[in-house]
A and B are shown apart, each in its own frame.
Chain A
Amino acid sequence: MQGRRAPVPTAITIGALLFLFVPLAIVVLFSFNSTGSLTFPFAGFSTRWYRQIIESAAFRDAVVNSAFVGGVVAVTTLMLGTLAAYGLTRASTKLRTPIAVLLFLPLTLPGLFLGLSLLVLFSRVEVNLSLGTVMIAHMVYVLPYYLLIAVAALQRLDPALEEAGADLGANTWLVFRRVTLPQVWPVLLAASLLAFALSFDEFIITFFVIGADSTLPLFIFSTLRRTVDPSVNAISSLLLVITLALFAIAFVLTLRGSKTAGLSIDAEPIGGTAR
């Protein structure tokens, strides 16, 4: 069955990869253009746009703010999310379903409505908008994505190992720390890196709850609104490199994690067995 010839799906896959990556490659290419022109042909190689943005204090503030927000969100999501995923996978009662629905529901609500409803809440209880309100909002947005990964990882484990630990007299916490965690920590770490990446790049919700501060996506948004500023290419390329690097690290950790748990990713793709 493997390796059947299928020219049409192959062509569509190659076309889609080009469609997904060529526009991003163009942005990166123009970030090294020596003139401010955003049109072809390409004039020549230069790093002037990178020097220009690194000298901008507003840009540096935005990067620091984004990293701060993303770090806090990643750590809190790691704690809340791991607990919740553990509870969801180890409980067996009808109560599980409504709790799972609540925890995954934010996935289906467009960011526009999430941002607006939080803005209304904060204005109602007279909380000033700040990076703190951004963190609150991001944790709502990021948690279900973290749970998707963490629940899948915890479900794959062989329950016999935890049962053996419990039978040998270890309490729940000890079993979790000594049996469960060693098997899944790379995947949980990967998921919290992705939580950081999602927060670092979030714009739709952030726009409503940020107040006077700025984050990197907000900085890009206002630059895009103002004028055609060629330094946007350099800022965009940096943002792409950061999020893609985080993703690549997370991907490698997940591969390692599935090996730790005694599974090979090759034998167990997302959908089931392949060979």
Chain B
Amino acid sequence: MASLAEATTRSEAAERPRVRPLIATLPAVAWLLAFFATPLVIFAVYSLLTNQLYAVGTPFTLDAYRDALTSTLNRTLARNSLEVGLSTAAVTVIVGLPIAYWLRFVAQRSRIAVLFLIAASMFASYLVRIYAWRTVLGSRGLINSALDRAGLIDQPLGFLLYSRFAVVVALVHIFLPYVVLVLYAGMGPLGDGLLEAAQDLGAKSSLLWRRVIVPIMAAPAFSAFVFVFILSAADYVTPQFLGGRDGVTLGVQIQQNFIGVGNWPLAAATSFLMLLAFVAVFAVGSFILRRLKLSDIRLSS
């Protein structure tokens, strides 16, 4: 019935494009032009200005970009951001796939309950989660005290907290629910019949994953991966509380440059270089997906 309705809408659309309803989008469009697009343009202009004491001014220059690219500190921090982003994205997608599979094909009555819990945890406060991991991973936190009581360690494991490991754990905690929901939605085209057919033809479960599930899930998994990579690589709060010295990222550096007497053009240039890197990751990923012919797999049930 839904497809029938869709078909009638489409045939009508072919006759006469409906433009008038777009008027309703104007207030939202105006809002985003004023407070999303315009600020980004001004921000871009700042990256081209010269830093002065307590101010920025002309002449226009690419100095900020040169400084951002040549700074060895920036390079170390960029590597940290990259590692944090890639690890978080990889872990969430690898763990998220079997959960989405469970929700789609294994769960029966518990599906709604588990979907509810996962979506609810998405709304659990961001700062509280970072704080919770400080409590769990701390030198006298849940893990260390349990290991101690079990007699497995003599002194607390220091690497648990104030490390890149702690940052990735907290970021996985923050982004896993999004990834599960995106992947679960992406499992729509995997009809029951398709899996049954593959099994009837004798496919073992490893073959089923390799030849059926993974190819169909490649595109949604990639979008989830990029989304998590961008948001976790640019996170500036988690590294401050959990990262220690090794876990500082480029985001923290950009934030520090904007509070107090900072170098705004340098921070703006660093921000745009980061955005450029994100676009590059996205472009390279889409290119690979297309080369592997995984991006256009469509199944009708």
Contacts and interface: CB of A to CB of B under 8 A. Distances in A.
Contact of A159 (B5, B103, B105, B196): B5
Given A112-B236, A116-B271, A217-B127, A83 B173 contact: no
A117 B43 contact: yes
B140 interface: yes
A3 B108 contact: yes
B215 interface: no
The 5 closest A-B pairs by CB, nearest first: A271-B188, A110-B234, A87-B24, A117-B39, A272-B188
B188 A92 contact: no
B188 A236 contact: no
Most buried by A among B17, B176, B230: B17
B152 to A, nearest CB: 15
B106 A26 contact: no
Contacts of A240: 124-125, 128
B125 A201 contact: yes
Contact of A221 (B33, B36, B127): B127
Using C-beta atoms within 8 Å of the partner chain, give the interface range for chain A. 35 or more
B123 A204 contact: no
B203 interface: no
A139 B34 CA distance: 12
Interface residues of B, number: 103
A56 interface: no
A16 B43 contact: no
Interface stretch (A17-25, A45-53, A57-65, A181-189): A17-25
A99 to B, nearest CB: 5
A74 interface: no
Nearest to B13: A92
Contacts of A269: 104, 111, 115, 184
A212 interface: no
B285 interface: no
Interface of A: 1-6, 8-10, 12-13, 16-17, 19-24, 26-27, 30, 38-40, 79-81, 83-84, 86-96, 99, 102-103, 105-106, 108-114, 116-121, 124, 136-137, 139-140, 143, 147, 156, 158-160, 194, 197-198, 201, 203-204, 207-208, 217, 220-221, 224, 232, 236, 239-240, 243-244, 246-248, 251, 265-266, 269-274
A99 B25 contact: yes
Contact of B102 (A12, A91, A119): A12
Contacts of A251: 116, 119-120
16 contacts: A2-B192, A3-B108, A16-B99, A19-B176, A23-B136, A24-B132, A30-B135, A39-B138, A83-B25, A87-B23, A87-B26, A91-B20, A106-B32, A112-B236, A113-B43, A239-B128
B36 to A, nearest CB: 5
B102 A9 contact: yes
A166 B192 CA distance: 40
B9 A140 contact: no
A246 B123 contact: yes
Contacts of A105: 32, 36
A81 B301 CA distance: 33
Contacts of A207: 255
